[in-house]
Amino acid sequence: MQITRQERVGTLVVRVGGELDVRTAGAFRDKVDELVAASAQQRVVLNLSRVTFLDSTGLGAILGRVRRWKERDRQVVLVPPSGVARTVLDMAALGRTVAVYPSERAALGEVAGIDG
């Protein structure tokens, strides 16, 4: 699992790649919570487009992050993975609780659009 971040004006982009599953979910949770806590940006784009495998534990960790960050008044936007990992994400009806965009560019455009 790889996690990188990029600070933009008003937005923190967190990019996750690799396998997000029962083995890696704990490290994912700790790392991205730390990145978000350390960032002053109010909006978070969680880019999962390079996630290659997602199981129910990884899904739970994603849902938990979205919930936690929203509770801390962050605006959360999500870029989903593709293939079966996307199906797994969709089965949680995530679209009801968080905005989902087809690409990071679209997510950033939308986030900027909300503000300006």
Partner 1 sequence: MADGARAVMSMDPWLEMALPSLPESAEICRVTVAVFAAALPFTLDELEQLKVAVAEAVGNCALHAYPTRAPGRVQVRARLEAGGVVVEVQDWGVGIADIALARQPDYTTSPDPDHVGMGFTFMEQFTDQLEVESVPGRGTLVRMRKEPAAAARDRR
The pair of three-digit structure tokens given for residue 29, joined into one six-digit string: 């949770």
C-alpha–C-alpha distance, residues 33 and 87, integer Å: 25
For residue 48, give the amino acid letter.
L
84/114 with CB nearer partner 1: 84
Least Å distance between CB 64 and partner 1?
A: 4
- Least distance (Å) from partner 1 to the CB of residue 54? 8
The one-letter code for the residue type at 13 is V
- Closest by CA position to 59, among listed 34, 24, 35, 8: 24
- Supply the minimum distance, in Å, between the C-beta of residue 84 and partner 1: 4
Choice between 20 and 77, CB closer to partner 1:
20
Q: Which residues bind partner 1 (CB under 8 A)?
A: 19, 21-23, 25, 29, 53-57, 59-61, 63-64, 67, 83-85, 87-88, 91-92
When the beta carbons of 9 and 93 are compared against partner 1, the nearer one is 93
Rounded Cα gap, residues 68 and 63, in angstroms: 9
